[in-house]
Amino acid sequence: MNQELHKLEVRLGYRFRNADLLAEAVTHRSANSRNNERLEFLGDSVLNFIVADELYQRCPQETEGALSRLRASLVNRPSLAELARELQLGEHLRLGSGELKSGGHRRESILADALEAVLGAVYLDGGFEACRSLIQRLYQERLGRLPAASELKDGKTRLQEYLQGHRRPLPTYEVLSVTGKAHDQLFRVRCTVDGTDLSTEGEGGSRRQAEQQAAEAMLALLLGERGRQQ
């Protein structure tokens, strides 16, 4: 194993018996036909199970829906990318020339996928308990400061509940534009509520993200409007 990947092992706190697995885990599809996509698939499944088990044990009073929201807050793309940055995983990624030029080692999706691939590689190399131990270390701080599940309802859900509670029409969302290449698009969405002259916009790497941002902004406007009326 080269010195750079050994540094990654040190940060992970795990020593690979089969160094080829770690090399594959940090290889993006733009660099080689033998890449980390299959390991990513495996790592995603193991991660979701282990985090679900941790939450089940730590939160005995929470419902299935609350547990699902908590898990989603821990294993979503931004959270995985943040963990990858803490491990300085981007420094070790093997990318094709195009991705290198466009800053692929900093891209959220690539970092998140690579971290899942590393977890898949650990699972194959050391087994379930080794992978569980690594995930517990990576998530120790986050699992120790879990938010209340009620705080994790997404913007669209909270906006809908607010409008229903005040007997107002449900919001509508309109895609205003989609820019960028297929693997790195930016969506801009408008949110409106019938019977008001309010509209908000949101942007994100997916339509869902843009809608969530627009919904959050609309809820803030409605709450501010209600506050001024009281």
Consecutive H or E run containing 58:
helix 37-58
d(CA 185, CA 205): 6
Model-level pTM? 0.70
Q: Across residues 75-94, what is the average pLDDT?
A: 93
Structure tokens at 20: 């080829």
Consecutive H or E run containing 119:
helix 108-126
What distance lies between CA 211 and its chain's CA centroid? 16
Report which residue type is found at 229: Q
Question: What per-residue confidence (pLDDT) applies to 65?
Answer: 81
pLDDT greater than 70 at residue 225: no
Q: Across residues 74-97, what is the average pLDDT?
A: 93
Closest CA to 105 of 26, 176, 42, 181: 26
Question: What per-residue confidence (pLDDT) applies to 54?
Answer: 97
d(CA 170, CA 67): 27
Question: What per-residue confidence (pLDDT) applies to 195?
Answer: 85
Structure tokens at 53: 């088990």
Ordered structural domains, the chain, with CATH: 3-148 (1.10.1520.10), 155-229 (3.30.160.20)
Q: Across residues 165-183, what is the average pLDDT?
A: 90
Q: Calculate what percentage of the chain has a pLDDT beyond 90.
A: 63
Quickly count: other Cβ atoms within 10 Å of residue 40's Cβ: 22
Question: What per-residue confidence (pLDDT) applies to 186?
Answer: 92
Question: What per-residue confidence (pLDDT) applies to 1?
Answer: 60
pLDDT greater than 80 at residue 182: no
User: What tens digit of pLDDT does each residue of 114-154 get?
Assistant: 999 999 999 999 999 999 999 999 999 999 998 877 677 78
pLDDT greater than 70 at residue 7: yes
pLDDT greater than 80 at residue 230: no
d(CA 40, CA 29): 11
Question: Hey, which residues are catalytic here?
Answer: 44, 116
Question: What per-residue confidence (pLDDT) applies to 228?
Answer: 55
Question: What per-residue confidence (pLDDT) applies to 150?
Answer: 67
Q: Across residues 27-45, what is the average pLDDT?
A: 94
The region of weakest confidence among 35-39, 149-153, 207-211 is 149-153
What does pLDDT average to over the chain?
A: 91
pLDDT greater than 70 at residue 229: no
